[in-house]
């Protein structure tokens, strides 16, 4: 017979492990999320046929990951740090990396959750599985547990840490008293909608990934001219909708908590364009930008777009080189960049 553990004990131990916030919810299927994903898929709003798009019902039911699941321990970790955001030098422009992936806070949170899972197992004998940035409906879990609420930009907002959080979960087969879900919303605010440079937020809480720079940075194809011009000097990701969000205004940045998967706030664009794929993945191990699902050619295309927007004449030789290669996407992107000078 399993021993009893209460939510307070779990949260206290999680706090000792350095986890910013923990909430509890049940393991019932996320039927509303399933319907929303299907509706958006039918409207053609997704750009990649990823796991959760092709396996909606499986994705939205955590019992497909742990058949006798009864509870979900939801967690979040704040990644807002006080680091410099652009390390460019004259003649050596850098491409910006989205803040959430300067370091691998997903992996850091997962390691902390593993220790919490071991504590729970020792106390109760429970079976559990741990995820962070994994094949489970993390945002619906966060909302139902009370970790946060959906912003109109489709990102979860925590009342303490804003949207500067990564999410993680422990799915377990023991019953734990659940917390109330979040009933907060953005009210009349639509700053994220107004600020999106590509009008990717088609209406509140619905995102057109075909126009979202964050989504497009890992999609390989030719970027439409209007989006490329709005791209700026980004190499991976986009956070404009978070930068303007009032819920993030008073979140205090902190010193980095981990060096796992360190990449930093920007990378030399010329360096990226001259790397082979193996070198790129070895240079930045354990980070999302070199994960197996990241298309390296898309990263190079992003670098070419960024150079076209930066307009540094010292980079023209490398752009001319790419304009002649036998890859239609990269050559046309380089030609666009040169014409944009």
pLDDT value at position 89?
75
Q: Please check the confidence at residue 42 and state whether its pLDDT lies above 90.
A: yes
pLDDT bracket for residue 2 (50, 70, 90): low
User: Which residues touch 55 (CB under 8 Å, ≥6 apart)?
Assistant: none
Distance CA 160, CA 157 (A): 9
pLDDT value at position 1?
44
Residue whose structure tokens are 């990649």: 48
Enter the tokens of residue 257.
């908590």
Question: Do 297 and 269 meet the contact criterion of CB atoms below 8 Å apart?
Answer: no
Dump pLDDT digits (tens) for 172-213. 999 999 999 988 999 999 999 999 999 999 999 999 999 999
Average per-residue pLDDT for the chain:
95
Rama region for 257: left / alpha / beta (φ>0; ψ in -120 to 50; rest): alpha
Reduced to 3 states (helix: H, G, I; strand: E, B; else coil), residue 204 is coil
Enter the tokens of residue 71.
């509870």
Listed residue (145, 201, 152) closest to 170, CA to CA: 145
Listed residue (25, 177, 18, 28) closest to 113, CA to CA: 18
Dump pLDDT digits (tens) for 96-138. 999 999 999 999 999 999 999 999 999 999 999 999 998 999 9
pLDDT value at position 281?
95
Listed residue (176, 173, 171) closest to 126, CA to CA: 173
pLDDT value at position 94?
96
Dump pLDDT digits (tens) for 47-93. 976 778 889 999 999 999 999 999 999 999 999 999 877 677 778 99
Dump pLDDT digits (tens) for 142-168. 999 999 999 999 999 999 999 999 999
Dump pLDDT digits (tens) for 302-320. 999 999 999 999 999 999 9
Instruction: For residue 139, give Cα distances in angstroms to 133, 245, 270.
Output: 10, 18, 36
Listed residue (234, 240, 241, 239) closest to 272, CA to CA: 234
Reduced to 3 states (helix: H, G, I; strand: E, B; else coil), residue 56 is helix
Reduced to 3 states (helix: H, G, I; strand: E, B; else coil), residue 133 is coil
Dump pLDDT digits (tens) for 221-269. 999 999 999 999 999 999 999 999 999 999 999 999 999 999 999 999 9
pLDDT value at position 86?
63
* Domain segments of the chain as ranges: 7-81+103-172, 191-339
Helix or strand (DSSP H, E) at 203: strand 201-203
pTM for this structure? 0.95
Enter the tokens of residue 243.
């930068």
pLDDT value at position 254?
93
pLDDT value at position 3?
62
DSSP string of 257-303, one letter each residue: ---TT---SEEEHHHHHH--HHHHHHHSTTSGGGSTTS-HHHHHHHH
Distance CA 205, CA 40 (A): 11
Distance CA 187, CA 246 (A): 12
Listed residue (211, 127, 234, 110) closest to 171, CA to CA: 127
Q: Which residues of 299-325 are buried (b: 16+ CB within 10 A; e: fewer)?
A: bbbbbbbbbbbbebeebeebbeebbee
């Amino acid at each position: 017979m399993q021993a009893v553990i209460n939510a307070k004990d779990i949260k206290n131990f999680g706090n000792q492990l350095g986890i910013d916030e923990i909430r509890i919810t049940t393991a019932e299927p996320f039927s509303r999320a399933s319907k929303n994903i299907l509706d958006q898929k039918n409207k053609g709003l997704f750009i990649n046929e990823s796991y959760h798009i092709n396996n909606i019902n499986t994705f939205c039911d955590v019992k497909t990951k742990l058949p006798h699941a009864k509870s979900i321990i939801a967690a979040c970790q704040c990644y807002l740090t006080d680091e410099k955001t652009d390390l460019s030098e004259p003649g050596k422009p850098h491409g910006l990396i989205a803040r959430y992936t300067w370091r691998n806070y997903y992996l850091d949170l997962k390691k902390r959750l593993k220790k919490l899972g071991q504590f729970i197992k020792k106390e109760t004998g429970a079976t559990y599985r741990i995820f962070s940035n994994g094949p489970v409906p993390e945002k619906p879990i966060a909302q139902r547990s009370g970790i946060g609420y959906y912003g109109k930009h489709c990102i979860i907002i925590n009342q303490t840490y804003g949207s500067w959080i990564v999410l993680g979960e422990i799915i377990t087969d023991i019953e734990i008293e659940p917390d109330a879900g979040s009933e907060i919303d953005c009210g009349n605010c639509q700053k994220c909608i107004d600020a999106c440079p590509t009008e990717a937020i088609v209406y509140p809480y619905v995102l057109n990934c075909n126009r979202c720079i964050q989504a497009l940075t890992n999609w390989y194809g030719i970027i439409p001219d209007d989006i490329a011009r709005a791209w700026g000097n980004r190499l991976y990701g986009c956070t404009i909708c978070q930068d303007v969000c009032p819920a993030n205004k008073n979140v205090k940045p902190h010193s980095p908590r981990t060096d796992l998967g360190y990449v930093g706030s920007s990378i030399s664009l010329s360096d990226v364009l001259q790397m082979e794929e193996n070198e790129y993945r070895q240079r930045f191990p354990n980070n999302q930008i070199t994960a197996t699902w990241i298309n390296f050619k898309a990263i190079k295309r992003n670098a070419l777009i960024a150079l076209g927007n930066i307009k540094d004449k010292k980079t023209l030789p490398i752009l001319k080189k790419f304009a002649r290669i036998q890859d239609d996407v990269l050559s046309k992107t380089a030609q666009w960049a040169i014409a944009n000078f």
